[in-house]
Amino acid sequence: MSDKYNEMQYRRCGKSGLKLSAVSLGLWHNFGYTDVYEIFRKTLLTAFDKGITHFDLANNYGPPPGSAEENFGKILKKDLQHRRDEIIISTKAGYTMWEGPYGDWGSKKYLTASLDQSLKRMGLDYVDIFYHHRPDPETPLEETLTALDLIVRQGKALYIGISNYKPEEAKKAIDMLRNLGTPCLIHQPKYSMFERWVENGLLDLLGSEGVGCIPFSPLAQGLLTNKYLHGIPEDSRAAKPHGFLKKEQITQEKINQINQLNIVAQKRNQSLAQMALSWILKDERITSVLVGASSSEQLLDSLQCLNNLYFQDDELKEIDQILQ
Ligand SMILES: NC(=O)c1ccc[n+]([C@@H]2O[C@H](COP(=O)([O-])OP(=O)(O)OC[C@H]3O[C@@H](n4cnc5c(N)ncnc54)[C@H](OP(=O)(O)O)[C@@H]3O)[C@@H](O)[C@H]2O)c1
């Protein structure tokens, strides 16, 4: 028997019964038809071997949209067939998925159809977590949340999450879902050293409401790693035409900050990626950090963040000064 479950750390998701691995793997980039099957298969199986139990998808991940779910379904069937009960799979709907008025945002029509399509692509009867991917300014929140509640009652998802909701919207959604009898399990916001909006109210809200928090892009899409210390490498997300990290975002100021942060990381005996992840996990309200990886080597590097989650006050001050 492997002792991976003793080596990985698991954190309770808010006040729910569910625990997640402190590091989760996301399939937004690197798992589409434009990527190399054997490389991402190895990344995914390495994650599972190291005790990562949670894999995060969305209807539109690829490219093309839907291909990450199809690839994930293939690997699940071929390599992890009898391990479904050891795995937490999430998917989402909320961004553009198909043309016409029913392939985007937050209507009941879109959310229910999209989840049915996701289940088919992955070859699943149910997902563990289904998220509304972003708030919809036009659809009444009641309609979106009633659709999520229905999906749980139908047995197509076990838990519900929200993503990209600001604190006021999140508070309304958490209250409404609780009244419907399907509590909000988790919130998925963007959070990294470079993007700290969750510190202005969201984390306090989630902590007091007993809702879990799983930050996405904790490495700022690769900026908070050793990848961009000396410019933009060819094999990077910023160099790919379909990558969401744009070359314009990698300013000289950012490169200077990354280099200074790297020195702090070295003093802690960590890689920059490891320090960026430890820095998020130091807060107990965080359930898991949701990383991406274009290789199993990257993932193995990132996972070592768990060896040092403690920061001295002067280290935190130094980091804040660099980020000012
Ligand atoms: N809810 C939402 O709206 C939303 C939005 C975005 C993402 N997400 C979720 O969050 C997940 C993670 O997002 P993300 O991919 O942007 O996360 P990230 O962890 O910030 O960035 C991942 C990228 O960083 C680089 N990297 C990772 N580990 C490294 C290491 N140890 N050393 C050097 N480079 C390393 C790789 O870049 P290269 O590819 O260049 O090698 C990798 O593709 C997604 O897959 C998705 O599940 C959710």
Domain CATH number, residue 138: 3.20.20.100
Residue 261 lies in a domain: no
Q: Sheet harboring 127-132: ordered strands across?
A: 212-213, 184-188, 157-163, 127-132, 88-93, 54-56, 23-26, 289-291
Rounded to whole angstroms, the Cα distance separating 97 from 104 reads 6
Global pTM value: 0.98
Instruction: Look at residue 1 in the predicted model and tell me its pLDDT.
Output: 64
Residue 266 lies in a domain: no
Residue 122 lies in a domain: yes
Picking from 7, 2, 68, the residue whose alpha carbon sits closest to that of residue 303 is 7
> Quick one: what percent of the chain has pLDDT higher than 90?
95
Choice from 90, 96, 225 to test ligand 1 binding pocket (greatest atom count within 8 A of CB): 225
Choice from 187, 242, 298 to test ligand 1 binding pocket (greatest atom count within 8 A of CB): 298
Task: Extract the tokens encoding 177.
Answer: 């879902």
**Cα of 293 to ligand 1 centre, how many Å?**
6
Ligand 1 environment, Cβ below 6 A:
26-30, 56, 133, 163-164, 188, 216-222, 225-227, 236-237, 273, 290-294, 298, 301-302
Which atom of ligand 1 lies closest to the CA of 94?
A: 3
Instruction: Look at residue 242 in the predicted model and tell me its pLDDT.
Output: 85
Residue 264 lies in a domain: no
**Cα of 136 to ligand 1 centre, how many Å?**
25
Rounded to whole angstroms, the Cα distance separating 231 from 233 reads 6
Residue 228 lies in a domain: no
**Cα of 159 to ligand 1 centre, how many Å?**
24
Ligand 1: residue whose CA is nearest its atom 14: 217
DSSP one-letter code for 244: S
> Quick one: what percent of the chain has pLDDT higher than 70?
100
- Report the number of distinct structural domains present in the chain: 1
Residue 177 lies in a domain: yes
Residue 147: burial class (beta carbons within 10 Å; 0-12, 13-18, 19+): buried
pLDDT tens digits, one per residue of 284-295: 999 999 999 999
Q: What is the mean pLDDT of the chain?
A: 97
What mean pLDDT is predicted for residues 122-131?
98
Picking from 293, 270, 237, 236, the residue whose alpha carbon sits closest to that of residue 50 is 293
Instruction: Look at residue 2 in the predicted model and tell me its pLDDT.
Output: 77
Rounded to whole angstroms, the Cα distance separating 213 from 312 reads 24
Residue 257 lies in a domain: no
pLDDT tens digits, one per residue of 66-117: 999 999 999 999 999 899 999 999 999 999 999 999 999 999 999 999 999 9
**Cα of 89 to ligand 1 centre, how many Å?**
17
Find the domain containing 102 and state its range: 4-222+283-311
Residue 254 lies in a domain: no
First vs last C-alpha separation in the chain = 48
